[in-house]
Homo-oligomer: A and B are copies of this chain.
Amino acid sequence: MARASTRPTSRDVAEAAGVSQAAVSLVLGEKWRGRVSAATAERVREAARTLGYRPNLAARNLRLGRTRTVLLVVPALTTEFFAGVYTGAARVAAAHGFGVVLYPSPEGIGPARDPFASAQAALDGVLASSMAADALTAIRGDQLPLVMLDSDPDGSLGAATVNLDITDGVRQVAEHLLGLGHRRFLHLAADVASWTFEIRARELAARVGAVPGTTVRTAPAPISIEGARAAAEAALSAPGPRPTAIVCDDDKLAAGAYKAARRLGLRIPDDISVTGLDDLALATAIDPELTTVRLDAELFGERGMQALLAVLEGRAPARGDIPVELVVRGSTAPPAVA
């Protein structure tokens, strides 16, 4: 008597097809050329189909010692950007027969502080954003192959890195604004300790500092519209000559800058220019539409996953930063003549 409620196993298929379990494994694994006759192979496939057989992945993973599953570590995930990264990474992974499990690092997740306990799956490798700093120490503990996203290339983790060319993006923003004639800048900076934000500040200072007579004031702000609004409003109300352009570390901060400007009665771009970074949906929802740097989040995820798969196969991951593109919209214009 066959077991009732249990899912069919390869042995059940074997019995139905009148062959051994090994033959089933060979046929379904496409390793049967010269080992099993075509007729028998078809019989096995037919039996598997009618029984609705699905291989038990836990057993397969145990046997093979690998899982074809990788972990993607991101901060929070509540952002459009990392949703895009996930989408790109998952697409590439799927094309190679890999699955992706997610670990959104901070408060979002429950008591299981350990990414590897939380992601119940057994893993082959890890793709991690540098912004998920709190999870990195735990990750370093394991010996799993690791590829970092947007991390210091000389980082202490000694892992391969895939980067967006943020430096170039900031350079494009700086030259765009300088070219329009701006000289007094406010840098609305994300108050997050992460390499990807540090280079924004560094490159902006370098580019703008190269032009005599320019000034850059920096206002740190939490990455939220309301927090950015408060920080920008305070900075714009400070004594001294008012900046003519606000360079924001990302689009959400720029949305906050819009609100600050509106409260202070400043019109964009007539009285003050604003730039963002990301090109989220938000950028075209606000009025005027935001001049910003487009980051291709999905491509970023794809490249990251390709690099990780390369590492898993023992190949060297491709080098080279991912290009970004300045998108000029209505939020920037020449400064009003004083």
Contacts and interface: CB of A to CB of B under 8 A. Distances in A.
Interface string A274-302: 00000001101111000000000000000
B87 A76 contact: yes
A84 B77 CA distance: 8
Interface stretch (A97-105, A127-135, A308-316): A97-105
Interface stretch (A57-65, A178-186, A188-196): A57-65
A78 interface: yes
Contact of A109 (B69, B91, B143): B91
A95 interface: yes
B284 A225 contact: yes
A119 interface: yes
B284 A282 contact: no
Nearest to A143: B7
Copies of the protein in its oligomer: 2
B94 A110 contact: yes
Nearest to A108: B87
Contact of A120 (B57, B59, B91, B104): B57
A155 interface: no
Contact of A285 (B56, B79, B285): B285
A208 to B, nearest CB: 27
A76 B79 CA distance: 14
A285 B282 contact: yes
Contacts of A93: 110
A98 B118 CA distance: 7
B94 A57 contact: no
A69 B120 contact: yes
A225 B285 contact: yes
Interface string A111-132: 1100010111110000000000
Given A68-B120, A122-B56, A94 B112 contact: yes
Given A58-B62, A99-B119, A285-B285, 5 more contacts: A7-B143, A94-B110, A94-B111, A95-B112, A101-B101
